Structure 1
Amino acid sequence: MAGIDTLPPLREVIATHGLSAKKALGQNFLLDLNLTAKIARLAGDMSGCDVLEIGPGPGGLTRGLLAEGARRVLAIEKDARCLPALSEIAAAYPGRLEVVNGDALEVDPLAHLTPPIRIAANLPYNVGTELLVRWLTPDAWPPFWDSLTLMFQKEVAERIVAAPGSKAYGRLALLAQWRAEAEIVLTLPPEAFTPPPKVSSAVVHLTALPEPRYPADPKVLERVVAMAFNQRRKMLRAALRGLAPDIQDRLEASGIKPTDRAETVSLEQFCALARNIAAV
């Protein structure tokens, strides 16, 4: 713990380096080091892992990840104003923190990381969902990461873990739950952040499954799910009419009533339908 003990409080770091949060970058800083340490612990045992962090800002979670024993942390930060603060953390943990100034949507983290790899981040709101979808849809499975521990707006977190029949259930739930175990492990109120966002936040922990929960071609499954939820108020026989001329028969063969709507259909049923459609 020597490294973290030598570093100044985050509010002092922000004042010293003039790090006011920028709305355009989706920034809301979490300054309570007890909370950032808790999030780091929720990411699991990191002693033998490299950790990818996106949007570290002044480095609250970065400190937690290093203090909890991460082998190495790669922090990708778009805002160059944060680099001096992150350099101070790197100096306190020699050889264990690499900071890349760049856009997480454009940087290839695998050039900097050695498996096993965990991802832990208080994701910038404006890129969080896009990054999650990328991590859940690689060309090959299992992915390069073992687990994801990610902060989202609470509404997005609820969509990731949603069950059939709920309003939050949709494409994101199916995408996440097809290939990972997903659970909300922490909820945070707006006042935990500086500046406070307008909504509550939640941390989701996802553990990659060795293989998808049910067999299906990823591209076919995505097409079926997209069509179903793009017209979620319609019965599936109408919403999926463009998939096959005999869609009603294919729905029934997959254990789905043609009069069902997308939000009532389980992941297993969607996978069965995707296999049926792939056989056209």
Structure 2
Amino acid sequence: MAASRGVTVFRLPPLPTIGEVIKLFKLKAVKQLSQNFLLDLRLTDKIARSAGNLKDAHVCEVGPGPGGITRAILNAGVAELLLVEKDPRFIPGLQMLSEAAPGKVRVVHGDILTYKLGQAFPNHLIKNWEDDPPDIHIIGNLPFSVSTPLIIKWLENISKRDGPFRYGRTQLTLTFQKEVGEVDVTVVHFTPLVQPKIEQPFKLVEKVVQSVFQFRRKYCHHGIRILFPEATRLEKAEQMLMLADVDPTLRPTQLSMFHFKNLCDVYRKMCDEDPSLFAYNYREELREKRRKKSNFKRTSDDDLI
């Protein structure tokens, strides 16, 4: 701890550099896991600053690895830092950091996709959804292999206001790697909205968006069609696009949030009118057609013997 003009500031004691930690524990980034070590202190400090004021905040860092961003977070004066790391190779180095900052750091060897963040922090931090965000932050340098399923999981948590969003509109500061093996990342800061842009169940919104982007290089009507069984596909897709006032020749990337809102609202009405519609799965229909075709071919071949 160091004092400046009467204010106590936390500073880590002298520790091996991240490069020395990597050598000490013989760590190596695994390309198959899209791992990438951030060694530039200016970059790790910038990532921590992107989260906003972390003084006395409760922070969860996702996948800290050798601990580059971790040190920047600790130097920001957090009240508590929870480190969730899946790769056991990094745990000894993180434990070293924990020992250097007693009472501030908790190290968990676990998978963030299954770890219960909704139980990770004290209940007194809970705020109403309409209030300012709680003093809780999630920070992480996400490899490509993890980023998509994790973001989808958190979006569902936001819609249900559970998991880390049980505490309120918990803020996320995440880096997304552009290329494995290069320090080339994009830092994005998220704060959940008080009122969602699309007020429909998460699973319904997810189904519509995934279907539309199934054919991302084609016109959007191709994706809309697979929301419906083959027998009514063309008719229902045309009806949905017309009611949503969406040009069928727009490509998925050209659709605005307003377009998606309209599509989801119309699809919800169609599902209400036909309760079996939401359960329809295009891929299952394809598999069933292939299975029948395969069975027919085997039967035909048997007839020729």
Which bin holds the TM-score, normalised by the shorter protein? 0.7 to 0.9
Q: Is residue 255 from structure 1 mapped to residue 245 from structure 2 by the alignment?
A: yes
Give 1:204 shift: 1.5
Instruction: Work out the CA distance in 2 between the residues paired with 1:13 and 1:119.
Output: 24
Instruction: Work out the CA distance in 2 between the residues paired with 1:100 and 1:83.
Output: 8
What is the aligned partner in structure 2 of residue 182 from structure 1? Answer: none
What is the aligned partner in structure 2 of residue 140 from structure 1? Answer: 160
Larger helix proportion of the pair: 2
What is the aligned partner in structure 1 of residue 203 from structure 2? Answer: 219
Q: Aligned letter for 2:248?
A: P
SS at match of 1:64: helix
SS at match of 2:81: strand
What does 1:12-161 align with in structure 2 at a 5 Å threshold?
Answer: 12-114=20-122, 115=125, 116=134, 117-138=136-157, 140-141=160-161, 143-144=165-166, 146-154=170-178
| Greater alpha carbon shift after TM alignment, 15-24 vs 47-56 | 15-24
Instruction: Work out the CA distance in 2 between the residues paired with 1:237 and 1:83.
Output: 49
Instruction: Work out the CA distance in 1 between the residues paired with 2:42 and 2:13.
Output: 13
Give 1:199 shift: 7.8
Instruction: Work out the CA distance in 2 between the residues paired with 1:124 and 1:265.
Output: 27
Q: 1:14 to 1:238 in 2, by over 3 A?
A: closer
Structure 1: where are the runs of 5+ without partners? 155-189, 191-195
1:136-174 deviations in whole A, cap 9, x for unaligned?
A: 1225148345221111123xxxxxxxxxxxxxxxxxxxx
Give 1:70 shift: 1.9
Structure showing greater relative contact order (alpha-carbon pairs closer than 8 Å, 6 or more residues apart):
1
CA contact (8 A) 2:172 2:189 kept: yes
Q: 1:249 to 1:98 in 2, by over 3 A?
A: same
The number of residue pairs the alignment matches comes to 240
Percent identical across equivalent pairs? 38
SS at match of 2:191: strand
Give 1:5 shift: 4.2
Q: 1:67 to 1:232 in 2, by over 3 A?
A: same
What is the aligned partner in structure 1 of residue 263 from structure 2? Answer: 273
CA contact (8 A) 1:217 1:274 kept: no
CA contact (8 A) 1:53 1:120 kept: yes
CA contact (8 A) 1:74 1:113 kept: no
What is the aligned partner in structure 1 of residue 128 from structure 2? Answer: none
Larger strand proportion of the pair: 1
| Greater alpha carbon shift after TM alignment, 199-208 vs 138-147 | 138-147
1:105-151 deviations in whole A, cap 9, x for unaligned?
A: 22222332234321101123321221112111225148345221111
Q: Aligned letter for 2:11?
A: G
CA contact (8 A) 1:149 1:205 kept: yes
Q: 1:217 to 1:83 in 2, by over 3 A?
A: closer
What is the aligned partner in structure 2 of residue 181 from structure 1? Answer: none
**TM-score in terms of structure 2 length:** 0.70
1:212-234 deviations in whole A, cap 9, x for unaligned?
A: 12333322222222221112344
Instruction: Work out the CA distance in 2 between the residues paired with 1:25 and 1:62.
Output: 20
Give 1:275 shift: 0.8
Q: 1:38 to 1:258 in 2, by over 3 A?
A: closer
SS at match of 1:30: coil
Give 1:24 shift: 4.0
SS at match of 1:137: helix
Q: 1:56 to 1:248 in 2, by over 3 A?
A: same
Instruction: Work out the CA distance in 2 between the residues paired with 1:21 and 1:242.
Output: 40
CA contact (8 A) 2:18 2:66 kept: yes
Give 1:267 shift: 1.2
Instruction: Work out the CA distance in 2 between the residues paired with 1:233 and 1:62.
Output: 40
**TM-score in terms of structure 1 length:** 0.76
SS at match of 1:14: helix
